[in-house]
């Protein structure tokens, strides 16, 4: 190898190292799995392979003893169309696990041990609303829920209230802070976005049940607000 070739090999290796799952070259089909460019099928494994190429199309990890899935596991796999986690030992799935799977057509979660309690409520709601084809999934517990289908469980409003945060809406603003306030019986949120020298105000829409854009105060206004406002500290 010439030194420039060595340098190239080293940078490729470093790229692979830093890009993690994104690096196809570095991806080795894990033992117990069969891989093609767009498909990975693992049978009988206890763990999900650590690096899965992001451009994967079809991922099956079946008939194993997978009990846990890392939060956000599938969030970088926008092309995933087919996902099977059938016949494993999963009782709970991390909240919003499937939210970013925009291409998903088919999901198979059969043969797991899902507990139909509040921690899985997001899953029940997601199953009910998804456009993907989902095989029937049944509750394995608690006793009074056993055998019921997850996707037609009615969870009455008021049940499962918790202080955990649930993703409700994404707002494309990079904010330093978010303050909620009410004014004349309406609810607003003020997002300080110093990178665009602005402060974005959004108003709660009682019909859409979302925040909608209300105002965008730009840098100059913020400055004069700080100078004149009663809470200005400078």
Ligand X SMILES: *[C@@H]1O[C@H](CO)[C@@H](O)[C@H](O)[C@H]1NC(C)=O
Rank residues 52 and 62 by Cβ distance to ligand X and give the closer one.
62
Rank residues 75 and 216 by Cβ distance to ligand X and give the closer one.
216
Would you call the peptide bond into 5 cis, given omega within 30 degrees of 0 as the criterion?
no
Rank residues 62 and 80 by Cβ distance to ligand X and give the closer one.
62
- At closest approach, how far in Å is the CB of 83 from ligand X? 14
CB 112 within 8 A of CB 138: no
- At closest approach, how far in Å is the CB of 218 from ligand X? 5
Supply 74's token pair: 């599938």
Rank residues 11 and 174 by Cβ distance to ligand X and give the closer one.
174
End-to-end CA distance of the chain: 62
In sequence order, which residues have a C-beta less than 8 Å from that of residue 222 and are 6 or more positions away?
197, 198, 199
CA dihedral 77, 79, 82, 88 (to 10 degrees): 0
Coil/strand/helix, residue 186: strand
Supply 213's token pair: 């854009």
- At closest approach, how far in Å is the CB of 107 from ligand X? 12
**What phi and psi, each to the nearest 5 degrees, are found at residue 194?**
-60, -25
Rank residues 94 and 111 by Cβ distance to ligand X and give the closer one.
111
- At closest approach, how far in Å is the CB of 141 from ligand X? 21
- At closest approach, how far in Å is the CB of 81 from ligand X? 14
Angle (CA) 101 102 108, round 5°? 50
Rank residues 22 and 214 by Cβ distance to ligand X and give the closer one.
214
CB 203 within 8 A of CB 186: yes
Summarize as ranges the residues that interact with ligand X (CB under 6 A). Answer: 43, 62-63, 87, 129-131, 173, 196, 198, 200, 216, 218
Angle (CA) 71 166 139, round 5°? 70
- At closest approach, how far in Å is the CB of 213 from ligand X? 6
How large is the C-alpha radius of gyration of the chain?
A: 24
- At closest approach, how far in Å is the CB of 177 from ligand X? 15
Rank residues 99 and 145 by Cβ distance to ligand X and give the closer one.
99
């Amino acid at each position: 190898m010439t030194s420039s070739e060595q340098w190239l090999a080293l940078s490729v290796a470093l790229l692979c190292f830093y890009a993690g799952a994104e690096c196809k070259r570095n991806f080795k089909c894990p033992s117990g799995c069969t891989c093609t460019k767009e498909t990975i099928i693992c049978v009988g494994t206890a763990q999900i392979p650590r690096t899965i190429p992001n451009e994967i199309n079809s991922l099956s990890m079946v008939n194993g003893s997978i009990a846990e899935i890392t939060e956000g596991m599938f969030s970088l796999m926008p092309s995933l169309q087919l996902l099977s986690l059938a016949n494993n030992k999963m009782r709970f799935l991390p909240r919003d696990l499937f939210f970013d799977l925009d291409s998903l057509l088919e999901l198979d979660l059969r043969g797991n041990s899902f507990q139909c309690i509040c921690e899985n409520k997001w899953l029940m709601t997601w199953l009910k609303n998804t456009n993907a084809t989902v095989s029937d999934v049944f509750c394995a517990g608690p006793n009074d829920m056993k055998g019921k289908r997850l996707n037609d469980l009615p969870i009455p409003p008021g049940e499962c209230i918790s202080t955990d945060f649930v993703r409700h809406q994404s707002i494309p603003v990079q904010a330093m802070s978010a303050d909620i306030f009410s004014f004349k019986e309406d609810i607003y949120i003020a997002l300080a976005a110093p990178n665009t020298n602005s402060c974005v105000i959004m108003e709660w829409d009682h019909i859409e049940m979302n925040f909608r854009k209300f105002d965008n105060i730009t840098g100059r206004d913020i400055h004069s607000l700080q100078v004149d406002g009663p809470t200005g500290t400078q």
